[in-house]
Structure 1
Amino acid sequence: MGIDDLDMTRTAYDAVAHSYTEILRDELSHKPLDRRLLDTFADMVSAEGGTRVLDAGCGPGRISEYLHGHGLTTIGIDVSPNMIDIARRGYPALQFDVGSILDVNLADGSVEGVLAWYSIIHTPPKLLTVVFAEFWRVLAPGGLLLLSFQVGDARVRLEHAYGHAVAYDVYRLSPEKILNLLCKRGFRVAIRLVRPPIGSELQPQAYILARK
């Protein structure tokens, strides 16, 4: 994500932060498969003695809180200061910081899990190698990475979202291309799943669980 992309994404999510939080507050309640994947991720991290997970692109913190409920210590980062403010107010016991997935402010090997829940979708595909290198760097040996994203192969400019006029890009991504990038980085893929769209979704949704 170049400077322009980063600024565009930050500005858009600052604008929609409160509406986004309200609209998606109970989203997991009607997505049982998503919950099971998050449960599996949390259980696998815990089963090997892991406790620390980076929620990379945490938004208002709802997924961090979900993982915290499974006994994990979460560190949430997001480019949007407004999202981080909402997360801190909503879940004061958890850690949230403004930060970018292109340059994660964590030490090498300092977490046992990385969750990127629909947070790589605003990164230009040519920069995903940088993102995956950062995820690899902060993960401890054997650590787990869980990605989710919309399936496709196109850049979509959004000009209205969550009730606001905005201007930012969303990238539909090919699971095969993401798998290839992960394998080149050295990840071993454990789960690769694509499901049809449900509710207001327009594209199939992809989930990849991989191990360092």
Structure 2
Amino acid sequence: MAGNANERARLVRNQHLCMCRTAAATCENLRFVLAAALQYRQRHLDRFSELQDSYDRIADEYCKRIFDELAHKPLDRQLLQRLANTVKSGPICDVGCGPGHVARFLKSCEADVFGIDLSPRMIELARRLTPEIQFFQGNMLSLEVADGSCGAIAAFYSIIHLTPEELPKAFLEFKRVLRPGGTLLLALHVGKETVHEDELWGYQVSLDLRFLELREIEEQLHATGFRVRETIERETYGEDVEYRAGAHTFSLRNRNLEDEIT
């Protein structure tokens, strides 16, 4: 009997030791996961801080060079005009609005529009140049906009700084703020390369400009709840008008579509 009791006690001790080792291993794994998550978050914050600082530095020069660019882009103007005509309810959100030139054009098309940009200096310039439009500083991955409140989103060359991991998050955020049947109009450069700029127009910057593959973008849009209504490819307008060749424009819609673009 004493032998059996000793054996049971030994088994209990072994089980307890195993449980302690398992718990210790679980805690170690949890610490590793948390450390990795915090490291990723810090890299994310640092990168967006660099992006914001870079655009703050070049904002005035950017405005001088870019503000009137739509005057030389007839197809872009046509698409924006059609977007303005399509929206039946809710404002258009110009995401990554820069100095507000796209929002300004949409306003000239009698659209209800507001703009959001990461750079405080860009927002300052936008408010000064077009005071009749509301502009806000913010991040497209966490828009301070109510669910289902926008009739459309225009993102003209503003997703080019997002990493492959961030793109689906941005599309989900766009979907969140769009009303059912709302429209998303994207403009981007097509390709596989990533161009890093550490100097632009004489200013020190840290910018990664990502060219995007069409099929990958379409798949991500479908996966996040959009239906591709239209894809338009155009040749570059020329290096004196835009940064790089190979520009493409998308017109997309939320899957909850009740009517079509005419």
Asked whether the two chains share a fold, i.e. TM above 0.5, the reply is yes
Contact 2:90 2:149 (C-alpha < 8 Å) held by counterparts: no
**Is 1:157 the counterpart of 2:199 in the alignment?**
no
Query: Which one scores higher on RCO, CA 8 angstroms, separation ≥ 6?
Result: 1
Q: Secondary structure at the match of 1:33?
A: helix
TM-score by length of 2: 0.77
**Is 1:59 the counterpart of 2:98 in the alignment?**
yes
Runs of 4+ in 1 over 4 A off after TM superposition: none
Counterpart code for 2:136: D
Q: CA deviation at 1:55?
A: 0.5
CA–CA separation in structure 1 for the residues paired with 2:141 and 2:90? 23
2:148 is matched with which residue?
109
Contact 2:190 2:248 (C-alpha < 8 Å) held by counterparts: yes
Q: Secondary structure at the match of 1:153?
A: coil
Q: CA deviation at 1:81?
A: 0.3
1:192 is matched with which residue?
231
Contact 1:19 1:163 (C-alpha < 8 Å) held by counterparts: no
What is the root-mean-square deviation of aligned Cα atoms in Å?
A: 1.3
The unaligned stretches of length 5 or more in structure 2 are 1-42, 255-262
**Is 1:202 the counterpart of 2:241 in the alignment?**
no
Q: CA deviation at 1:51?
A: 4.3
Report which of the two has the higher share of helix.
2
CA–CA separation in structure 1 for the residues paired with 2:184 and 2:50? 26
Report which of the two has the higher share of strand.
1
TM-score by length of 1: 0.95
CA radius of gyration, larger in: 2
CA–CA separation in structure 2 for the residues paired with 1:20 and 1:202? 15
**Is 1:129 the counterpart of 2:186 in the alignment?**
no
Match of 1:41 among 83, 108, 113: 83
CA–CA separation in structure 1 for the residues paired with 2:74 and 2:126? 23
Q: Secondary structure at the match of 2:165?
A: helix
1:89-143 residue CA offsets vs partner (Å, 9 max, x unmatched): 1111111010000000011000100011110001112111100000000000000
Contact 1:175 1:206 (C-alpha < 8 Å) held by counterparts: no
State, as a whole percentage, how many aligned pairs show the same letter: 38
Q: CA deviation at 1:4?
A: 2.2
Q: How many residues are matched?
A: 209
